[in-house]
Every structure is written in C-alpha cells, then in structure tokens.
Amino acid sequence: MKTMVIIVHPDLQSSRVNQAFAKELSKHKDLCVRGLYEDYADWQIDVEKEQLLLLQYDRIVFQFPLYWYSCPPLLKKWFDDVLTYGWAFGPGADNLKGKQFIVATTAGGTEKAYRSGGDNGFTISELLKPIQATITKCNGIFLPAFVTYDANQGTEAYLAQEAARYTEHIQASMYALIH
C-alpha cells in the first residue's frame, strides 16, 4: 500500500512531538512524507499537483496539532482548494473512492480533558467529525484517528514511544484498524 503523510504544522521546529513523529517516519523509506507549510509557505496551493498526488496513493495521513479544536488553517484551505466539486465529490466524481484517510493529531491536554464532561467538553472523535464528513463526502474511507495526548508535557521517552506507536498505526491494515 502506498502511503503519503502530509505534516501540517505551522511551526514544526518548535514542536517536540511532531518532530519526533517526523524523525520516526524518516526511518520508513516506503512512506512519502511532505510538509504542507514548507511546500506552501505562500499559501498558494497547486491544486493540480495535489490532486495528482492524491491519485498516486492508497492511504493519506494528515498529521497535525489540534488547533482550537480543529486543524491548522492551511489544512482547511487545502481541503477547500483541492477537494473540488466534480473532482472529489458530486456526480461522477470518484477520484478518491476507496482511498483510505487517517488523521494523526496531537493534543496538549490529557485524554481525560477530551471527553464528555472533561475540561474541553468533547472527545477528539467529536472534534474530528467535520474532517470525517469531508472525507466521507468525497467517497474516501475515514479510518480511526491516531491521537497523542499530553504532547506538551511528554518526556523524550514518551514521545519516542508515541512516535513508534504512530508509525505502527498508519501502516496497519485497514482490517486491523477497524476490528
């Protein structure tokens, strides 16, 4: 299975956890890893290039820090620009049909904070529903998300453990992820 990981972090150099993930991903030569903020520092997304890349991969992973209970703004722009009517959704638009998508996100808060009644009031699953709805609208398969909590407080050992768990998750079979 061909997998592309799109790292979407506005300041990757300041993120210990996302750097740990990227370092672990670099050990896996079978993964295509890209940085959206590095590719589009000017925010001018090359829609044709992005659509061609999507066609080349079976699984697409969006790796990002949870930003105000959502994704970073450049990823939202990417969704708006790239996943167009007639190409990604709408009559006859089946370019993403059957493609697998995974969200890999990091949260500074604890897992207990992200539950009904917790400090944040919602689960990560609830907060990711708009992305799930987008992927589903585009005929993609939204697989279970990967989440690392306590990203800001994690020790180096914890971050290394989470990075290894992350790469296992995104390389697992669809069957293993949903059963």
Q: What is the pLDDT of residue 57?
A: 98
Alpha helices in 29-173 (DSSP H): 36-39, 47-56, 73-82, 124-127, 129-137, 156-171
At 25, which helix (H) or strand (E)?
helix 16-25
Distance between CA 101 and CA 92 in Å, rounded? 20
> Do 62 and 143 contact (CB within 8 A), yes or no?
no
**Token pair recorded at residue 42:** 């000017």
CATH number reported for the structural domain that contains residue 32 in this entry: 3.40.50.360
Range of the domain at 170: 3-178
pTM of the predicted protein model: 0.96
How many CB atoms within 10 Å of residue 98?
9
| Average pLDDT across the chain, whole number | 95
User: For 117-137, how does the pLDDT look when each residue is reduced to its tens digit (9 = 90+)?
Assistant: 889 989 999 999 999 999 999
Quick one: pLDDT band at residue 157, thresholds 50, 70, 90?
very high
Number of domains in the chain: 1
